[in-house]
Chains A and B, each alone.
Chain A
Amino acid sequence: MRCKQAERLFFRRLDGRLDETQATALDVHLRTCAACARRAAQHARIARALRPASAPDPVPGLAQRIMPRLEPRTVQHVPLLLWERWSLRAVPVLMAAVAVVGLALALVVPVFDEPLTSTEILLLQNVNPMEEARTIFEQEKPETRGLMLLVASIDDAPPVRRDRP
């Protein structure tokens, strides 16, 4: 054990925070290290001298001397700071503004009625949209599969002609 560690353990002993194993190790060190033994003795004497011989009692009538010094106090509400007052006012204003904007958006912005995709239509009809694909991939001949894929990829929608100048 190093001397610095022994000193730490000795301080722990002074405070009654040393376990048995540590105490034994410390005692072994103190028996073999004269410098630490001397330091430990000095620390113990200093600690003894610091401990009060007797603790004095307060001068009688202490409470009676304190009471007249206490100013009457009722529950005081701490005044709000300027920014607190403004932020409190701002909250309802902000809420009203959000409500107005939300209402305006709901009334003004039209709801777009987008047409359903073919997959969505099939799903609504409770039909598996992958059914056609499964039929194609189940074909044994690759030529047939390729032809079927080609036919399936042709869009059902009518072609749109570009405007001519």
Chain B
Amino acid sequence: MTTEASATGQSASTTGRQRNRRSSGGVRGWFGRQPVLVRAVIIVAVVVGAYLLPYLGQVPVVGPQLITEGIDWPSALFNMSYYVLLALGLNVVVGFAGLLDLGYVGFFAVGAYTVALLTSPDSVLHTEWAWLAALPVAVAIAMLSGLILGWPTLRLRGDYLAIVTLGFAEIIRIFATSSETLRGDRGFANIPHPPGTLPDGKPIFGVADATPYFWLGLSVIILVILGVRNLDRSRVGRSWLAIREDEEAAEIMGVRTIKYKLWAFAIGAFIGGLGGVMFAGEQGFMNSGTFVLQFSILVLAGVVMGGSGNIAGAILGGALISYIPDRLRGITDPIFNTDLFGFRFAIFGLVIIAIMIFRPQGLIPSRRRAMELKDRAREVAPIE
């Protein structure tokens, strides 16, 4: 397709199409060249496949190898779903807008704690709302906390921003540990599950089987993907990218840098809060031990590993950071006779190092990010 045609032809999704056209190589290039119908069929197949994941164990030969042993597979899938959600949210902040946020778990905590406070009988508020009623309030408060964090840090970039966001997450964790209202490690019990009953009178979202939670998480993920993708392929995405590449030039070209940086924080916080709400609804119990710094770092590692700035990369990265440790559960190593889960961070670290050596731009890189990285490499070694 020529540029002329894309400018004057069916204008619907030209920006997206251009992007596809540009990425000529690899799977994505192939995908971009397929007719609309073929692409639609592939997308539907992938979505259906994702919804069928809880039955992976019944697939002959490969299925039993892939599912987790030490933790039931639907629960592992649900864990993956909220990690993916968090990776998608963090990808907006770090990948799109280029703002390094090390305290992302803070928003997850805000979402989860708001739900706990509003719904749990242990809460000082004694409101005991339904889970669904608490959801909008929780994500709104998470978003607000994103703005509160974003506002004073607008002038900061890179390392400085990272330190401040790190502090933010620690403040929330320490507050949760030591404040009477947030009950420290005693935590909140009896957080209600999402609503709905089956025809036989049993609740859809019970305690025995995590499959419905995974389906709920997957549905939320699909909505989030659609939203984030719409933003990325609009003036909002262009503004974020412009800010990431040259903030001053962007502002001189009329980009409201403050507004779009705040939006990036708010949207990231919204998605993180949503993850927290889902988490609280499935677990039924939570305490301050959940929101450790490791968690933020892990999600960031997932985003970078998958391919910062790319939605598919964030999904893959988020899924892997949850899947790898869960897969290690229940496997006994032959030397020390211990559960490999104990070595999860060591193994995980090796995996990350390997990926960063062999594929520094991430597993499914954003094309732009890959080029930025190449540029940086050239700056370091100008002889090339």
Q: Do A and B come from one complex?
A: no
Q: Which residues of B contact A (CB under 8 A)?
A: none
